[in-house]
Chains A and B, each alone.
Chain A
Amino acid sequence: MTVDVDRFTRILAERLAAIVPEGFHVEAGDGMLWYSVDGHAGQAGSHMRDNFGVYGETDEENLVGLAVQALDELQDYVAEVTHDPWPATTAQPRPHGEIRDGALYAWYGDAGAVVLGCAPIPLADVEA
């Protein structure tokens, strides 16, 4: 497959925006994912376009790598603003991703104990 990274970034932004706590925002722009929160000046952003290619040989490996990177950096942003672990309450669950049944799955927690997950992204939706 050949991936449209900017389209993937836009879809991932929608998926992440759906799971963040109230007041937080995730948006796509300039090959990046941007994280912000109401009433807070600082923002953070994950490099998507620039990092496509560093997570493996195949496009599938890179999609998983980018998704895990975004989950990790979003988690850091939310936890720092709220001063609490997120999305769990006692410790930071690790971000994971995998491709299964023609779709990308991304979540926090172990495979057998998902704490919070995104709606899957069909690979067909991110093909160039």
Chain B
Amino acid sequence: MIRKRIVCLLTCVFVVLFGAAVPALAASGQAQSTRVSGHEATLDVPGAVLTVHFDQPMTAAATARVKSELARLTSPATPSAHGPKGAYLYCDHLYSFKDADGDYTFQHRCGGTTGPWGYRLSTGLCSIVISDVHEHGMAWHRNGKRQGTQAQHTKYCRYQFHGNYNPDHDYDFISYSDTFTFRVDVGGETGNADLVITGSFTSAGCQNRIACGP
């Protein structure tokens, strides 16, 4: 009985530790996962999650095709960078964060009051998109307070989606989330896809040019 309890306790400890380790890895930017099952496929990279809901349940052969197509989509683009996660983004710099899904850009003029951002879906992702892309509108918080959700847009896939964090002053902390919805054809399987991008950063001023970089 006592042995059973010890085994159970050790199992619980393992589950708790392992469960905690997975999101930690994802948050550190090292994880990228692809899951395909039934009606759904998910491509998960730090800062962006692409979910596809297929029109029909997939056979084993279709599942294999979809996995292969998604692997092609992400390879060799294992992200060397991803959306900002609490980083200091200094003023008077243009920042770019690329991953398999797209490229998020941000800039802010020193002493300025706004922060223009951009997002462009990657050529790889656009190779499976078969419709216009509907952007829901950038939802964002400034210093923990919700701000007005920015405009919705419906555009072609490689459109440079853009907007403005307004106001955005030096050292404001910005967190953001936007969703892009479109139709896809993955290895002959069609469905609806949602791409959700998220991130956060301090829109930092610059007191010291050396520290802020060139």
The listed residue (B132, B137, B148, B166) touching A41 by CB distance below 8 A is B132
Q: Identify whether the interface residues of A are mostly helix, strand, loop, or mixed.
A: mixed
Beta-carbon contact of B154 and A51 below 8 Å: no
The listed residue (B150, B154, B166) touching A42 by CB distance below 8 A is B154
- Residues in B with CB closer than 8 Å to A50 are 149
Q: For chain B residues 147-188, which have a beta carbon within 8 Å of chain A?
A: 147-156, 159, 164, 166
Q: CB-defined interface of A26-56 with B at 8 Å, one 1/0 digit per residue?
A: 0000001000000001111111001100110
A98 at the binding interface (Cβ < 8 Å): no
A73 at the binding interface (Cβ < 8 Å): yes
Complex Cα gap A5–B12 (Å):
52
Beta-carbon contact of A73 and B132 below 8 Å: no
Complex Cα gap A103–B5 (Å):
73
- Residues in A with CB closer than 8 Å to B93 are none
- Residues in A with CB closer than 8 Å to B148 are 47, 51, 54-55, 65-66, 69
- Residues in A with CB closer than 8 Å to B159 are 42
Distance between A61 CB and nearest chain B CB, rounded to angstroms: 12
Residues of chain A whose beta carbon lies under 8 Å from any beta carbon of chain B: 32, 41-47, 50-51, 54-55, 65-66, 69, 72-73, 76-77
